[in-house]
Amino acid sequence: MSDEFWEEDPYFTGPPLTEELVRRAEALLGVRLPRTYLGLLARRNGGTPRRRCVFTPFPTSWAPDHFEIRGLRGIGGKWGIDSPDLGSRYLVVEWGYPDVGVVICQLPSAGHDTVMLDYRECGPEGEPAVVYVDEDRVPRRVADSFEEFTTILRTCPD
């Protein structure tokens, strides 16, 4: 079955999503994950999106007007947001990201910048914004929700 969101590449893909995986991840991370994010993961638990660029009104360390994501992290498995080795908590400490929420994307820089769900305004039970965090570690809002984030992903320029 074809999926308009995901590439066929299985990289960054975790095990099939279950309610138990979601419960454990939310308990570990201390937040309620956006339902749109979980709905997308129910179709495929992480992977490489077909459209990977987010255009920005600010320059990034990689381009004057956009950044690219390589993968959207799922739950469970090596690349899951809850992984002890490569998950969100580990990445926040390892790379010094601001502790504002959950790291959800893998970027080409392999750690120098990232994309996170930002729970600062909504609290752990609310609908988080999506922020880009560059090498300066300042969170910059790129979408008011995960659902909006999925709609602004575009094909990257050559």
Q: From CA 31, how far away is CA 53, in angstroms rounded? A: 26
Q: What is the pLDDT of residue 9?
A: 86
Determine, yes or no, domain membership for 8: no
Does residue 2 lie in a domain region? no
Residues forming a β-bridge with 129: 118
Domain assignment of residue 41, yes or no: yes
Residue 106 lies in a domain: yes
Q: Is the dihedral of CA 24, 25, 31, 35 positive or negative?
A: negative
User: Would you say residue 13 lies in a domain?
Assistant: no
Give a yes or no: residue 6 inside a domain.
Answer: no
Domain that holds residue 143: 19-152
- What pLDDT band is residue 141 in, cutting at 50, 70 and 90? very high
Contact 48, 5 (CB under 8 A): no
Number of domains in the chain: 1
Return the CATH number at 61: 3.40.1580.10
Q: What is the DSSP-derived secondary structure letter of residue 154? A: B
Average of per-residue pLDDT values in the chain: 95
Q: What confidence tens digit (pLDDT) does each residue in 59-96 have?
A: 998 899 999 999 999 999 999 999 999 999 999 999 99
Record the pTM.
Answer: 0.95
